[in-house]
Amino acid sequence: MVEHLEDEEEDEDDDEEEEQVVSRLDIFEGANGREARVFLPDEDGDDDVVVFDPDYDGDSDDEEFGAAAIEQSPQGDAIAVAELEELDYDDDEEDGDDAEVIVFHPDYDEEEEEDLFEDNAEHYEGKEEEGEAKEKGVPAVMRCFDTAKIYAKAGDGGNGVVAFRREKYVPFGGPSGGDGGRGGNVYVEVDGEMNSLLPFRKSVHFRAGRGAHGQGRQQAGAKGEDVVVKVPPGTVVRSSAGDVELLELMKSGQRALLLPGGRGGRGNAAFKSGTNKAPKIAEKGEKGPEMWLDLELKLVADVGIVGAPNAGKSTLLSAITAAKPTIANYPFTTLLPNLGVVSLDFDATMVVADLPGLLEGAHRGYGLGHEFLRHSERCSVLIHVVDGSGEQPEYEFEAVRLELELFSPSLVDKPYIVVYNKMDLPEASERWNKFQEKLQAEGIEPCCISAMNRQGTQDVVHAAYKVLQKERQRMKDDEEWNGPENLNHVADAIKRERRAPMNEFEIFHDKGTNTWNVVGAGIERFVQMTNWQYSESLKRFQHALEACGVNKTLIKRGVKEGDTVVVGEMEMVWTDEPNKASSSKTMNSKDDSVRWPEFG
Ligand SMILES: Nc1nc2c(ncn2[C@@H]2O[C@H](COP(=O)(O)OP(=O)(O)OP(=O)(O)O)[C@@H](O)[C@H]2O)c(=O)[nH]1
Ligand SMILES: [Mg+2]
């Protein structure tokens, strides 16, 4: 979602989108794949249920469907917001309870509709090929909401101008051309109200305004309008080129300056010197940087349930939240993490994820594999579930800890609680004392539960919440201690590059075409900002080539008469004219819009 500062129109558009706030949302793996259950706030206190079913009637003609996902308030509480653009009311509820079931479709373009369901069908019918298993493991619907590609460009600086004062009785007034205004910046800001990357399917391009050109009487041009790209909490920003992670935006209100606007070009008033009292030269504005960005919304869970396959992780999740994950008596039932929200109190909630049976599953390329582990690194607290009915529960516990250590050191360092499950089975209750003693000896106090019978599960919830609160406080203290995180490092790097000195360049020679490419951020920026409309610009450029050592290096490397020399958008033909410090005789630009000076 974008907000142009001082731009009311956009806001009005936003208002048209219907937004419905829901009180709770659980995402889980149901019989038909990924489903979400949404609880709508209700006057009579009963929670209505919205089922989000990715497999929902593929040939339906209904175009619009809204997305739902989890987000967190500044306090870290989970809130769910759904954009429900069209709702189908299903009256055929058979289970007899009063809950109203509403099925809604995520919002997608009609053209993409087919792919979406094709992908989905393929996934659920298990037709995917081995090699693609990982990518296909994510239901198509989730993939679409989870990622987005956008283009961002900071505003170009305005051009400086050449002007002279004309006053009565002053025949030759001084130079008075003002500087161009700075281009607008591109910011990325976390909007706690957002819950998906869906808005980026409609708006892909984010361009900040260009700075206004300078004017006479030394008036500087106005600054270009900033643009703010609003993203939901949990968004990771990568540059598409090179796939470099730039930002991880977790908290509502966080704001990063991503692309700083180009500097305004200087007007001729700025070029006045002792030797040149009436300069007929001004700079063009600096180009604003541009970038394609990949956005990814990561799952944000406070608590992750880990444990050996079949230990009862999904059963525990379903016992403490409204999530309805698939539960079955075979290992690796869960291939994608399920999310559920635990509400302890009005303002005390935590998001819990049941994580797929560890590592062997990831190994086999099931589900999200290591991709998923990356997601789970978000959790602040782990609940380690041990199957008490196993042969050697203590051994199982140690083995999973070891696996965590081997495959995800960042997970193993998190605070955790140990839960001994399946206490309803005699083999489990027999072994409990031994297990408890063994762990107590290591300074760990395990709880015992029967997830299936929901015995002891509330104690687990409270224990996990206590650890979570401690973690949240610790993170807050850390932040105060280290000061707020600097999120402007991308912009800082761009600014640093802008200050690159002109004499730091490299020259590449292409023998085939006799072309010499001069590459260097400083010199290229100089060329970009040179306004060739003014004849003095050429002289200044020639002087710069000489002063920063480009000419000298070219001669040393053996440049010959007639060779082409390229600096940024500038192409020149080299001449060996003696006594002429310059290299250029004819000039061409790759960019036809630039007007070239006439040479006499
Ligand atoms: N008797 C008993 N069975 C349980 C209990 N908790 C879970 N189970 C059973 O254990 C089996 C595995 O449960 P899941 O919750 O699917 O286990 P999981 O850890 O999510 O398994 P994966 O997703 O495959 O890693 C199922 O058959 C459950 O019914 C319990 O407290 N008592
Ligand atoms: Mg499971």
Residues 33-74 have pLDDT tens digits of: 555 555 554 444 433 333 333 333 333 333 333 333 333 334
472 exposure class (CB count in 10 Å sphere: 0-12, 13-18, 19+): middle
> Six-digit token pair at 294?
């990949």
> Six-digit token pair at 199?
């808005």
User: Residue 399 C-alpha to ligand 2 middle, in angstroms?
Assistant: 18
CATH number of the domain at 278, please. Answer: 2.70.210.12
Compute the residue count for the chain.
600
Question: Among the three residues 442, 476, 510, which one is the final residue of a domain in this structure?
Answer: 476
The DSSP letter of residue 215 is B
Q: Greater confidence, 399 or 259?
A: 259
By DSSP bridging, strand 20-22 and strand 78-82 are antiparallel
Q: Greater confidence, 402 or 5?
A: 402
> Six-digit token pair at 260?
């700083």
Same domain, 267 and 199: yes
**Which range of residues forms the domain containing residue 567?**
501-574
Helix (H, G, I), strand (E, B) or coil at 49: strand
Contact of 344 with 267, CB cutoff 8 Å = no
CA 419 – CA 303 distance, rounded (Å): 14
Among candidate residues 453, 147, 124, 100, the one with its CA nearest the CA of residue 293 = 147
Tally of structural domains, the chain: 3
Q: Model-level pTM?
A: 0.54
Among candidate residues 436, 316, 454, 334, the one with its CA nearest the CA of residue 383 = 316
Helix (H, G, I), strand (E, B) or coil at 392: coil
Is 61 domain-assigned? Answer: no
pLDDT > 70: percent of the chain: 63
Same domain, 334 and 427: yes
pLDDT tens for 87-129 read 333 333 334 333 322 222 333 333 333 333 333 333 333 333 3
pLDDT tens for 541-564 read 888 888 888 888 998 988 888 888
Determine the pLDDT at residue 32: 58
Is 15 domain-assigned? Answer: no
Nearest atom of ligand 1 to the alpha carbon of 354: 20
Cβ-defined contacts of 138-141 (< 8 Å, 24+): 138/336, 138/368, 139/33, 139/34, 139/54, 139/336, 140/54, 140/115, 140/116, 141/34, 141/54, 141/106, 141/116
Q: Is any atom of ligand 1 closer than 6 Å to the C-beta of 333?
A: yes
By DSSP bridging, strand 338-343 and strand 349-354 are antiparallel
Q: Is any atom of ligand 1 closer than 6 Å to the C-beta of 329?
A: yes
Same domain, 199 and 223: yes
Neighbouring CB atoms inside 10 A of 22's CB total 22
140 exposure class (CB count in 10 Å sphere: 0-12, 13-18, 19+): buried
User: Residue 310 C-alpha to ligand 1 middle, in angstroms?
Assistant: 5
Q: Phi then psi for 557, rounded to 5 degrees? A: -80, -5
Same domain, 154 and 190: yes
pLDDT-wise least confident of 58-62, 256-260, 294-298, 437-441 = 58-62
Q: Is any atom of ligand 1 closer than 6 Å to the C-beta of 338?
A: no
Same domain, 279 and 185: yes
Question: Whose C-alpha lies nearest to ligand 1, atom 3?
Answer: 422
CA 445 – CA 400 distance, rounded (Å): 17
Among candidate residues 361, 360, 342, the one with its CA nearest the CA of residue 351 = 342
Q: Strand pairing partners for 89?
A: 102
Determine the pLDDT at residue 9: 40
pLDDT-wise least confident of 339-343, 417-421, 453-457 = 339-343
Same domain, 305 and 291: no
The DSSP letter of residue 107 is -
User: Residue 460 C-alpha to ligand 1 middle, in angstroms?
Assistant: 16
CA 120 – CA 105 distance, rounded (Å): 14
Over the Cα atoms of the chain, what is R_g?
A: 31
Mean pLDDT of the chain: 72
Contact of 234 with 250, CB cutoff 8 Å = yes
Confidence of residue 336 (pLDDT cuts 50, 70, 90): low
Confidence of residue 361 (pLDDT cuts 50, 70, 90): very low
pLDDT greater than 90 at residue 467: yes
Which residue among 310, 400, 455 has the greatest number of ligand 1 atoms within 8 angstroms of its CB, and so is best to mutate? Answer: 310
Is 152 domain-assigned? Answer: yes
Same domain, 437 and 555: no
User: Residue 398 C-alpha to ligand 2 middle, in angstroms?
Assistant: 20
Same domain, 430 and 545: no
By DSSP bridging, strand 227-231 and strand 186-190 are parallel
Determine the pLDDT at residue 402: 81
Question: Among the three residues 265, 297, 329, which one is the final residue of a domain in this structure?
Answer: 297
Interface predicted TM-score (ipTM) over 0.90:
yes
Same domain, 280 and 378: no
Nearest atom of ligand 1 to the alpha carbon of 326: 16
User: Residue 312 C-alpha to ligand 2 middle, in angstroms?
Assistant: 7
Determine the pLDDT at residue 4: 45
CA 409 – CA 258 distance, rounded (Å): 31
Confidence of residue 169 (pLDDT cuts 50, 70, 90): low
Contact of 133 with 123, CB cutoff 8 Å = no
Q: Is any atom of ligand 1 closer than 6 Å to the C-beta of 162?
A: no
CATH number of the domain at 553, please. Answer: 3.30.300.350
